[in-house]
Chain A
Amino acid sequence: MKARIHVTLKNGVLDPQGKAIEHALGNMGFDGVEAARQGKYIELDLKSTDRAAAEKEVDEMCRKLLANTVIENYSIDLE
């Protein structure tokens, strides 16, 4: 089973890298960008075939290492 994890900064947390991307796109002439936020994408290959167990385990991985919940949110897709 594959787990696809997105880690993003919480709303209200300043994202200077996102801002820099937004400005760079603007400078390149892409004037349709209202805002950019940068995050992380992590892909895991799991041994588990039990979806519920995998979901629980990946959630724990996110809380304990993959995301810093002081500043970040995460979402998990299993397939």
Chain B
Amino acid sequence: MKSAVIVFPGSNCDRDMAVALEKITGTKPLMVWHQEYDFDKVDFIALPGGFSYGDYLRCGAMSARSHIMKEVIKRAEAGVPTFGVCNGFQILTETGLLPGALMRNANLHFVCKDVKMTVENTDSMFTSTYAAGEEITIPVAHHDGNYFADSDTLDRLEGEGQVAFKYAEDINGAQRRIAGILNGKGNVLGMMPHPERMIEPALGGSDGRKLFESVMNRLG
């Protein structure tokens, strides 16, 4: 499985993502700088966590309009599996590839800890190796992870299985405790928690590993 990690000025989880992808897929991912217009054909695109462009204007707002994102949007719309973590999730909502927005945490605190979440959809290409309703532990580290969408959108997301993960307990004020969502086609996933930081016992757990393995299984 060939993958690419998109790197923005201010990304800081790009290397974590690259290490996880290399360990799990066996292939070093392509690191793609935000000023590029194009990159080699890959099977999987990752948008890493961080504070791209210093979170200026809104988290992810600048990155979503960068040169490289035009190409990422084109490929995601064509069906290439695209995965955004934390700032990557914020970027995906800012591009419109995923609905809703991520706002400042309701209690205004930066949340940095391991959190329990439940796997809400195990049919997706990102979650198929988890058990239905499985509770997993994945770290979060964010200031703006408070997922917001209007109630019609939330109903649709829940009704159509587009909610991939929910926090077991409220940590940031996110509507309906949403931690991660899929697009309608199921090839784009955005989530606030960092599965790439939980891929082996030495890191404190390996609950994040199955996410990458699910994608590998699906892609063959």
Give A contacts to B, CB under 8 Å: 13-14, 16-17, 20, 40, 64-66, 68, 70-71
A70 with B61, Cβ < 8 A, contacts A17-B108, A20-B108 known? no
| Top-10 shortest CB links A-B | A70-B101, A71-B101, A16-B108, A16-B106, A16-B104, A68-B101, A68-B58, A20-B108, A71-B148, A65-B65
**Beta-carbon contact of A14 and B108 below 8 Å:** no
Give B contacts to A, CB under 8 Å: 57-58, 61, 65, 93-94, 99-101, 103-108, 146, 148-149, 173
Determine the chain A residues whose CB is within 8 A of the CB of B99 once the complex forms: 70
C-alpha spacing A44/B106, complex, angstroms: 31
Chain B's closest residue to A12 (CB) is: B150
C-alpha spacing A17/B58, complex, angstroms: 14
Q: Tell me the interface secondary structure of chain B in the complex.
A: loop
**Beta-carbon contact of B108 and A13 below 8 Å:** no
**Beta-carbon contact of A16 and B94 below 8 Å:** no
**Beta-carbon contact of B149 and A70 below 8 Å:** yes
Given contacts A14-B148, A20-B108, A65-B61, 13 further A-B pairs with CB under 8 A are A13-B103, A13-B148, A14-B146, A16-B103, A16-B146, A17-B108, A65-B65, A68-B58, A68-B61, A68-B94, A70-B101, A71-B101, A71-B148
Partner pick for B103 among A40, A64, A66, A71, CB 8 A cutoff: A71
C-alpha spacing A15/B148, complex, angstroms: 12
Determine the chain B residues whose CB is within 8 A of the CB of A14 once the complex forms: 103, 106, 146, 148, 173
C-alpha spacing A79/B159, complex, angstroms: 48
A16 with B148, Cβ < 8 A, contacts A68-B94, A70-B100, A70-B101 known? no
Determine the chain A residues whose CB is within 8 A of the CB of B58 once the complex forms: 68
Most central of B101, B103, B146 by chain A CB within 10 Å: B103
Determine the chain B residues whose CB is within 8 A of the CB of A20 once the complex forms: 108
Q: Can you list 5 A-B pairs with a CB-CB distance of less than 8 A?
A: A16-B105, A16-B108, A40-B57, A70-B148, A71-B148
